[in-house]
Chain A
Amino acid sequence: MDHKYISELLSKYWDGETDLQEESTLKSYFNGVDVHDSLTQYRPLFAYFSAALEEKSLDSIDTAVLNHIQHKAVPAKPKVISIGSVLKLAATVLVLLGVTSFFYQYMTEKNGTHIISYDDNPDEAVEAYLELKAALALVSNKIDDGKKEALKGLSRTKSISIMK
């Protein structure tokens, strides 16, 4: 399956706009063997929906994550989670706000320690950048929501004064 199409589906998914069939497509894609390099990081999210794979999938997450880390030339330290791209952490936050207990549990169990700290190790800079980007995306989206709410309020006010 074309990974660009899957990327598009993922975007729709984060927006909560995929239909059942599209979600099923995502699920099969990520449970299959031929997952594109740039997308392997999302596998754990979709493995969640496959109850039968639960036990096994933790190991394959392990491998997938570690492989991903190594590809980016970051040492595979168990303490640090490779979160991946902005979509994934934004999704993590969104998913944390929505569905997530499996993923969240995975994060805390994988870790042992509950603090993920990026300081002076240049090999961690890429990961840190991606986390940073996701954090900015979150703030940005909330500011945006705030604007929308404010505008709604304003338009109500306008119509009231016109009616006078």
Chain B
Amino acid sequence: MNMQAQQDAIDKYFKQYVEDENFTVVFISPKMFQLISKLDLNEVDNDPEAKMVMETVKDIRGLRVLTTDVDPMLRYKEAMQKINTNEYEVLVTVRDKGENVRIWVKESDNVIEELLLLVGAVDEFVMLSFVGNIDLDKISKLANNIDVKGAEHLNKVGTDQD
């Protein structure tokens, strides 16, 4: 495992958000990811998708979530402009019910090493960054399990990888 501290988009472009008191910041370190992987699921989580969650996160190294309700749309626009489109590729863009969502990924040698989610809504801005070896397939499948309604029929229509 590469022990070098990897700079994610938040380190590169959004340090000021981390230092801004208007933001709530949640941070899960690589060390904590290791501790999580050692949890006994039977004691922790009764949901059937718990196993899937553990599978999905075994190669993820870090998570950061920043949220604010102060000038959220402004933050969203600001954030969108700062992201270097040479490094990051757009995976998803959704505009729905007054909410703008964009997911960026950073790929290296066919591995997704960072996933960056931005949500801009009238009363909330969310920025979320996963770093590590990110398996999109597994993450997408979680949606089918965590929120069954509506997603079922999509599973048949979507393309199967492999």
Contact = CB atoms under 8 A, between A and B. Distances in A.
Q: Interface majority SS on B: helix, strand, loop or mixed?
A: mixed
Contacts of B27: 115-119
Interface string A103-146: 01001100100111111101011101111110111111111111
A88 B130 CA distance: 20
B63 interface: yes
Contact of A151 (B31, B130, B147, B154): B154
Interface in A59-115: 85-86, 90, 93, 96-98, 100-101, 104, 107-108, 111, 114-115
A115 B21 CA distance: 9
B32 A108 contact: no
A120 B24 CA distance: 20
Interface string B23-35: 1111111011001
A143 B24 CA distance: 24
Contacts of B79: none
B24 A107 contact: yes
Nearest to A155: B157
B54 to A, nearest CB: 9
Interface centre among A116, A122, A132 (most CB of B within 10 A): A132
A116 B28 CA distance: 9
B32 A139 contact: no
Interface size class of A (residues with CB under 8 A): 35 or more
Given A116-B25, A116-B27, A147-B158, A128 B126 contact: no
A142 B121 contact: no
B24 A145 contact: no
A140 B142 contact: yes
B36 A132 contact: yes
Interface of A: 15, 85-86, 90, 93, 96-98, 100-101, 104, 107-108, 111, 114-120, 122, 124-126, 128-133, 135-149, 151
21 contacts: A86-B47, A86-B146, A100-B123, A104-B24, A114-B24, A116-B27, A118-B26, A119-B29, A122-B35, A124-B32, A126-B44, A132-B63, A135-B63, A136-B53, A141-B143, A143-B92, A143-B136, A144-B154, A145-B94, A146-B91, A146-B94
